[in-house]
Copies of this chain bind each other. A is one copy, B any other.
């Protein structure tokens, strides 16, 4: 599948682009500045060689023209970026992986969204897009380190057809397991829980990954 990453030069964008390329996808690393995207692709190729052969650099416009688009900007640019590419995003799966977050002392806190969640705001900004929220709980650095086996569960919510495509995308990454958590109404839980999880990381030693025990394969509806 040809995948575009909007805001592909930041930590989340680099991480998801490298990881998806490493399992055989063609991935366009998009940026407002094409040269910056090329620089990131060169760096990733230098580090990972043939493992990221599917990476290509482009503008955000190039990335938005792919079959499936990941919105990987910093969180407070997610909505405006979706709005700027709304026409191209119409009809295709768009993955929102951001969550509004502030650091206050020794904790992270969720930033409330007037639409209920950042993903819902993205949906409003790009009404034709099939918005899905996923990948909030995997640290960008872990995504980017291809020698690291992730071993994590990824809750996926949003548009039904797009959700199925993203669950498949997740399951295609070794040791990740995609879990179907319903419609975009549940994006709030994924986004806000990220702040709690990051606070746990601050207050305990280490970097938490999510595992749910006690559940089996997805049921067909």
Enumerate chain A interface residues (CB-CB to B < 8 A).
104, 106-110, 112, 116, 151-152, 155, 157, 179-183, 185-186, 188-190, 192-197, 199-201, 203-219, 221
Contact = CB atoms under 8 A, between A and B. Distances in A.
Contacts of A182: 106-109, 196, 199, 203
B200 A208 contact: no
Contacts of A186: 107-110, 192, 195-196, 199
Nearest to A139: B214
B199 A208 contact: no
B208 A181 contact: no
Contacts of A216: 204-206
Given A106-B182, A109-B182, A182-B106, A201 B215 contact: yes
A172 to B, nearest CB: 18
B179 A109 contact: no
